[in-house]
Structure 1
Amino acid sequence: MTMVTPASHPKALIAVLAACLVLPLAAALTPATGNASAHSPDVNDIILSINESFIEDSIAAIQAFGPHPTGSEACTRVRDYLTQRLEAWGLEVYLHGWSRRSYQGQNIVATWPGIHAELPPVVVSAHYDSAPGSPGADDDGSGVASVLAAARALREYSFNRTVAFVLFSGEEQGTLGSLSYVHDLYHQGKQVAGVINLDGIGHTETESGGRNVIVYEEPASAWLADAMEEVASDHYQQVRLGLKRLPNTGYSDHNSFLTYGYGALQVEEYEYNHWFHTANDTLDYVNVTYVTHIARLTAGTLARVAHQNWRTPEVTIAVPRHDVLYVFGRELLPLDRGTVLALGPLDMVAEASADTASVTFYLDGEAVAVDEEPPFSWTCRRTLLWDHQMVAEARDAQGNVAVAQVDLGLSLY
């Protein structure tokens, strides 16, 4: 987890949140074949298959490598260890190389192919690098252990959608690995259904802290938080968690996805861990039961979204595009980091599924137009400079709603 004190939450990186509901994912995330040998999933069985001993052993194994910041030999050894485990379970694994600023690294991408390759996959992520000098048991050994637990549990079943398990490096340097990954995905024009990012999910101070978990969301990912909340309710005896849902202010790899239009969530421990980024970030200060409950909740949500009749969003924002400076509606200069800047009027175009009855457009929370015929569009004639949020809300004849958003301007993270 990128370090932020609980009192001030200083913003540390320049980034732009430009969020729409459909985001690219590498071709490996949409394989052509499914898993005929696996059987139909039972969410409760998946949840119960995740136990404390697996979580504890996985965190201990990562901690045993010692501090493993990006670029270190220890980080390479952690990468190899995690890759071998995922491959041993029969997942398709590849390494995504990246280079930003003075750093280089590799992200681990493991997939469990779905029955219907044409459906956008669902993703769970964490980061496997640690802060310098820290063994990283909670930040983010807890998240990595939970991703491993979900992969081990879900690979026993077949799902309609592909499930991707992605482990990033470069998070502690400013989410460099995930930013590079999602940049590549976006410019390849791929799609995903949604993302759950786990970062720092192991520390508790009080009994109340062990019964709650924070979920940071955006309008584009509220449907995924709904799915998680329903799993927490339906399987409370196995999960024993309440969700504290908050507007996104989290500082982790989920922001890279949001920047390029992903509907992404950040899952985080309820109480602040004062041992973050220190030599004391060890299992001694990790509540293994708490991590296990969050891992169960995550795996159950993945199973529901990947297979059951949960409606995923079916609207995207085609214009404005990411990594572009617009001047009076025309693309003037290429940008980076998902940035969208605009000077003067700007067209907004939403692409929605065939059953869409109407699209309502919002600017900074205010409904400004309704379009009932494709192509769904609206021209903003106000002067747009820095921080603005544009939202497209698609509605079908049955009243189902999907939301896409794009944030304009520069935001410090």
Structure 2
Amino acid sequence: MSTPPGAAGKGRSLSAVSRDRIEQHLKFLVGVRHPVAAPAALQRACSYLEDTLRALGYAVDLHGFFDGGQEYHNVVATRLGTRRPEKRVLVLAHFDTVAGSPGADDNASGVALLLELATMFKEWRPELTLQFVGVNLEENSDRDGHGTGLRGSRALAAFALQQGWEIEAVVVLESVAFAGGSVRQAAPAGVPLQVPPNGDFLAVIGNELAQGVVARFALAADSFDIALPVVPLVVPDNGELLPDTRRSDHAPFWDAGYPAIMLTDTTNFRNPHYHEPSDTLETLNLAFAVRVCQATAAFLLGMAGGEGAAPS
């Protein structure tokens, strides 16, 4: 794979990331977005993703699936690859919330970064097909409160398998804006590494199949000199021994045999507002979110290749 102009080398920057655009997306999205507690807001978020991605020039499809007898949609925006269109790189973020939380960090932050990345790459001609996907119904309760969550991503992973998609990497943006040097960091039992005591880093979690993708993400952030501490974690098999590493939309792709990574601020292991009414825009660290976006853009430049108006 060729290296796009400006996509490697110490001292590079990704100044195209707009904090203002990220904040505007957050202001629109923040609020309860739930199939029972706030179905209209959930649909507004879905339509916002669809309309924004269409306006950026992507081919947009609504991938439907049923839950509790009702149809919901994932929003799939596609830019076909110029050289190897059969190979795909996916960027995912879920746009629903739990019933009692406005979900600024979980997960308006991930959706805002997804839309900012799509904006940055709107004139890029990738060698591999690049897809930005808003995923519905990630949260871990269904209509009667007893579900296992991940309904939208599970449906999409099953569809990808059925259609024979050749996925090179799935990148899941899961709660990526709560951080700070004074934030206390905890860790789930059994994590096989020393977790920093302060929550000022981005965790990059992959399974054995995605080990190379984890390494490429960390290398991309370093290559562009992005001031973002990255803590990588590769779990055995599909993370069954560490269930906390399976708590987002990457897990169905692991189970389907695709290389997927989760980018996360570690949610409840750092954020006291997790799934609470206090998960508001005011609690977020937008400077940290910008750096996560820069690192993800650097990764996509190397992973998907291509040419055009580079996000630099």
TM-score per shorter chain, which class?
0.7 to 0.9
- Give the equivalent residue in structure 1 for 2:215: 226
- Which range moved further: 245-254 or 88-97? 245-254
Matched, 1:277 2:275: yes
Deviations 1:191-222 (A, max 9, x none): 11111101111112435756411111111111
| Aligned partner of residue 161 in structure 2, secondary structure | helix
Matched, 1:169 2:158: no
| Residues in 1 aligned to 2:33 and 2:203: alpha-carbon distance in whole angstroms | 26
Aligned partner letter, 2:97: S
Contact 1:197-1:254 within 8 A present in 2 as well? yes
Query: 1:110-259 counterparts in 2 under 5 A?
Result: 110-172=77-139, 173=141, 174-207=149-182, 209=198, 211-236=200-225, 239-246=226-233, 247=235, 248=239, 249-259=245-255
How far is the alpha carbon of 1:88 from its aligned partner? 0.5
Aligned partner letter, 1:120: K
| Aligned partner of residue 212 in structure 2, secondary structure | helix
Larger Rg over CA atoms: 1
| Residues in 2 aligned to 1:157 and 1:103: alpha-carbon distance in whole angstroms | 37
How far is the alpha carbon of 1:51 from its aligned partner? 2.3
Aligned partner letter, 1:70: P
| Aligned partner of residue 227 in structure 1, secondary structure | helix
Contact 1:41-1:157 within 8 A present in 2 as well? no
How far is the alpha carbon of 1:281 from its aligned partner? 0.8
| Aligned partner of residue 135 in structure 1, secondary structure | coil
Matched, 1:78 2:45: yes
Aligned partner letter, 1:243: V
| Residues in 1 aligned to 2:111 and 2:35: alpha-carbon distance in whole angstroms | 15
- The structure-2 alpha-carbon separation of the partners of 1:118 and 1:148, relative to structure 1 and needing over 3 Å to count, comes to closer
| Residues in 1 aligned to 2:13 and 2:28: alpha-carbon distance in whole angstroms | 23
How far is the alpha carbon of 1:117 from its aligned partner? 4.2
Higher RCO, 1 or 2 (CA under 8 Å, sep at least 6)?
A: 2
| Aligned partner of residue 248 in structure 2, secondary structure | coil
* Structure 1 residue ranges without an equivalent (≥5): 1-39, 309-413
Deviations 1:28-61 (A, max 9, x none): xxxxxxxxxxxx6533788221121121111111
Contact 1:46-1:154 within 8 A present in 2 as well? no
Matched, 1:49 2:16: yes
Matched, 1:306 2:299: no
Q: Tell me the TM-score normalised to structure 2 length.
A: 0.80
Equivalent of residue 295 in structure 2, options 285, 294, 297: 297
| Residues in 2 aligned to 1:203 and 1:102: alpha-carbon distance in whole angstroms | 35
| Residues in 2 aligned to 1:184 and 1:101: alpha-carbon distance in whole angstroms | 19
- Give the equivalent residue in structure 2 for 1:67: 32
| Residues in 1 aligned to 2:13 and 2:116: alpha-carbon distance in whole angstroms | 10
How far is the alpha carbon of 1:242 from its aligned partner? 2.0
Contact 1:203-1:285 within 8 A present in 2 as well? yes
| Aligned partner of residue 133 in structure 1, secondary structure | coil
Q: Which runs of 4+ in 1 moved over 3 A?
A: 40-46, 100-104, 207-211
How far is the alpha carbon of 1:118 from its aligned partner? 4.0
* Larger helix share, 1 or 2: 2
Contact 1:211-1:240 within 8 A present in 2 as well? no
* Larger strand share, 1 or 2: 1
Contact 1:98-1:104 within 8 A present in 2 as well? yes
- The structure-2 alpha-carbon separation of the partners of 1:92 and 1:216, relative to structure 1 and needing over 3 Å to count, comes to same
- Which range moved further: 136-145 or 97-106? 97-106
Contact 1:41-1:159 within 8 A present in 2 as well? no
Deviations 1:263-284 (A, max 9, x none): 0001110552121212111111
How far is the alpha carbon of 1:185 from its aligned partner? 1.5
Deviations 1:256-299 (A, max 9, x none): 11111110001110552121212111111110011111111111
Aligned partner letter, 1:43: A
Aligned length: 265
Contact 2:86-2:165 within 8 A present in 1 as well? no
* Structure 2 residue ranges without an equivalent (≥5): 142-148, 183-196, 240-244, 307-312
- Give the equivalent residue in structure 2 for 1:268: 264
